[in-house]
Homo-oligomer: A and B are copies of this chain.
Amino acid sequence: MSKDATPKVDGRRLKGDRTRRAIAVRAAERASLEGLEQVSLGRIATDLGISKGGIQAVYATKEDLQVAAVEAATEIFVEHVVKPAMDEPPGLTRLWALIDRWLGYVDRRVFPGGCFMAATVPEFDSQPGRVRDALTVARRAWLALLEGQLRQARQQGVLSDELTPSQLAFEIDALLTAANTACNLADQPEPLNTARAVLAARLGAERRHTARKSKVRRPGG
């Protein structure tokens, strides 16, 4: 992520990047529990054992830190959910890999509050600005990724055309997000299985003649 080609000659740069990253990650973790607005410079500083001024030296304003938290959360999400699914062939198989990885990501509490987006998008969806813009970018990329697999699946003839790929992506995201919320409310992972069952019924009904890999682990089990 360094824009400089010679980071190794400058120890301060390396250490600075590490601190930068740690601050944004910690902010994302707290935001998943309490929201991005409840993130405060003072508490992040205490968490990391540095001074408040130390954070402000790296992120000038609170809004800068909030945007950085969104970007750090996106990177973590890509690492845990998107990248592993890319090993699977595009289409329905990769779609199910994305769904399974997503359920696992929530179940394993990669963020202490579950899905970062589910916690922060509803908080900022009525508040125009840089934070909402950053959330919109991340959300669109996720929906586009789902939609791409659905489009592939349809071209491969393994998906009916009752709903468009865009509508189906909307539905998948809706079910996953609702599962995360229900999990948090109930303090138990069972709703993840509900979402999987509904998705299996909906995509199974859509599916035509393909066999999905059965590498699928039950979340929470």
Residues of A within 8 A of B (CB): 32-35, 37-38, 112-114, 118-119, 121-123, 125-128, 132, 135-136, 139, 162-163, 166-167, 170-171, 173-175, 177-179, 181-182, 184-185, 187, 191, 194-195, 197-198, 201-202, 205
Contact A181-B121, Cβ < 8 Å, known A162-B201, A163-B201: yes
Q: Pick the residue among B126, B178, B198 that contacts A177 (CB under 8 A).
A: B178
Nearest opposing residue in chain B for A173, CB measure? B178
Copies in the complex: 2
Whether the pair B185, A139 counts as a contact (CB closer than 8 A) is yes
* A182 cross-chain contacts in B, Cβ below 8 A: 170
Contact B198 A171 (CB under 8 A): yes
CA distance A139 to B123 in the complex (A): 18
Residue of B nearest to A164 (CB): B197
Is the CB–CB distance between A198 and B167 below 8 Å? yes
Q: With A114-B126, A170-B198 given, can you name 15 additional A-B contacts, CB distance below 8 Å?
A: A32-B126, A33-B126, A112-B126, A119-B122, A119-B125, A119-B126, A121-B181, A122-B123, A122-B181, A128-B187, A139-B185, A171-B198, A174-B174, A174-B177, A174-B179
Contact: B170 with A132, CB < 8 Å?
no
Which residues of chain B come closer than 8 Å to A191, judged between CB atoms?
A: 170
Q: Given A37-B35, A132-B185: A123 and B123 within 8 A (CB)?
A: yes
Q: Which residues of B contact A202 (CB under 8 A)?
A: 202
